[in-house]
Amino acid sequence: MAKVIDGKAVAAGVVEQVTAASNALEAQTGARPGLAVIIVGDDPASHVYVSSKSRMAKQCGFKSVQHTLPAETTQGQLEALVASLNADPEIHGILVQLPLPGHLDADPVIQSIRPEKDVDGLNIVNAGKLMTGDLEGGLISCTPAGAMLFVRQTHGPDLSGLNAVVIGRSNLFGKPMSALLLAANATVTTAHSRTRDLPGVCRNADILVAAVGRPQMVKADWVKPGATVIDVGINRIDAPERGEGKTRLVGDVAFDECAEVAAVITPVPGGVGPMTIAMLMANTVTAAMRAHGLKPPAF
Ligand code: GUN
């Protein structure tokens, strides 16, 4: 049976570090890190995520501002709000919750966030810094940064000689995750829906990262014995065994059977999920400290 990583405990450690840095910033400058989260429309899952981001920001001692905009908000109104937050010296981090309602174009909004305040790491300046191996100067997308912390805790900072396979090629996760693994010297394959013999490709992985959005797709015979398996999926499936109409959350990995083969595995929920919010807090305190000319801690 594999070692199961406790994401809540690792995230709590990051949040403790962030809170200490936030207190130190306030003691030295009188300023608190400021995080603005924008949500447009009434997607229930997005509202749950945004509430927990705002709550955690307050817990870390941040100034936390939430802008809840109606579904009929125009592109111009949204971009004007981002422009005003870009100009606000008390705001160090801006996050626009995705997905946006269908009539809005997310890309120009995301690209209009000042790179220094882009705590999601989605601006092309931050994505470009990561791709060119500058891990210190920009801001890195929160979920891959959190997943990478698990990888470092398991394998150390140098992944020389290890094969890593990332299933998924999104800008939010797959591409930055592959770049982080490559920067740590892993030999990286970015697999996706068009990959031939995906199970065979995965069986080569010493580090297997799944971010496809298909419940329990990764099976035991896809996993190399002794591998580290990081599950980034969050899928809600029917759970009639819990009663009529009940559901439960599962990842992209068939946990029970893969845990018999892997050496280390992350659960869903309680694995990568808690890390995403913790790393958002880490990015915000990092942005605030840089804005005040201070060196942020390494997370
Ligand atoms: N929606 C789901 N995950 C994320 C995320 O990490 N950032 C933003 N902005 N929206 C999301």
Spell out the long-range contacts of 107-111 with Cβ–Cβ below 8 A and sequence spacing 24 or more: 108/75, 108/79, 109/75, 109/78, 109/79, 109/82
> Which residues lie across from 40 on neighbouring strands?
69
Which ranges in 71-203 belong to alpha helices (H)? 75-86, 106-112, 124-131, 142-155, 174-183, 198-202
What span, in angstroms and rounded, lies between the C-alpha atoms of 95 and 50?
10
Nearest to 85 by CA among 297, 290, 287, 295: 287
- pLDDT value at residue 191: 98
Averaged pLDDT in 10-residue chunks for the chain of 299 residues = 98 98 98 98 94 96 98 98 98 97 98 98 98 96 98 98 98 97 98 97 98 97 98 96 95 98 98 97 98 96
- pLDDT value at residue 95: 98
CA-142 nearest atom, ligand 1: 6
Structure tokens at 16: 């403790």
- pLDDT value at residue 24: 97
pTM, two decimal places: 0.96
Residues, the chain:
299
Output the CA 29–ligand 1 centroid distance in Å: 31
- pLDDT value at residue 231: 98
Count of other CB atoms within 10 angstroms of residue 139: 28
The string of pLDDT tens digits covering residues 170-184 is 999 999 999 999 999
Q: Which residue has the least CA distance to atom 11 on ligand 1?
A: 98
Can you tell me whether residue 115 is helix, strand or coil? helix
- pLDDT value at residue 284: 98
- pLDDT value at residue 100: 97
- pLDDT value at residue 274: 96
- pLDDT value at residue 80: 98
Taken in order of first residue, the domains within the chain and their CATH numbers are 29-114 (3.40.50.10860), 141-273 (3.40.50.720)
What span, in angstroms and rounded, lies between the C-alpha atoms of 290 and 193?
39
- pLDDT value at residue 27: 97
Active site residues: 53, 97, 120
| Beta-carbon contacts of residue 87 (< 8 Å; ≥ 6 apart) | none
User: Which of 37, 48, 97 to mutate for ligand 1's pocket (most ligand atoms within 8 Å of CB)?
Assistant: 97
Output the CA 81–ligand 1 centroid distance in Å: 18
Nearest to 110 by CA among 79, 74, 67, 72: 79
- pLDDT value at residue 205: 99
Structure tokens at 159: 């992944």
Can you tell me whether residue 119 is helix, strand or coil? coil
Backbone angles phi, psi at 99, to 5 degrees: -80, 155
- Angle, alpha carbons 183-187-192 (nearest 5°): 100
User: Which of 82, 98, 283 to mutate for ligand 1's pocket (most ligand atoms within 8 Å of CB)?
Assistant: 98
CA-276 nearest atom, ligand 1: 6
State the chain's mean pLDDT as an integer.
97
What span, in angstroms and rounded, lies between the C-alpha atoms of 10 and 275?
7
Q: Which residue has the least CA distance to atom 4 on ligand 1?
A: 98
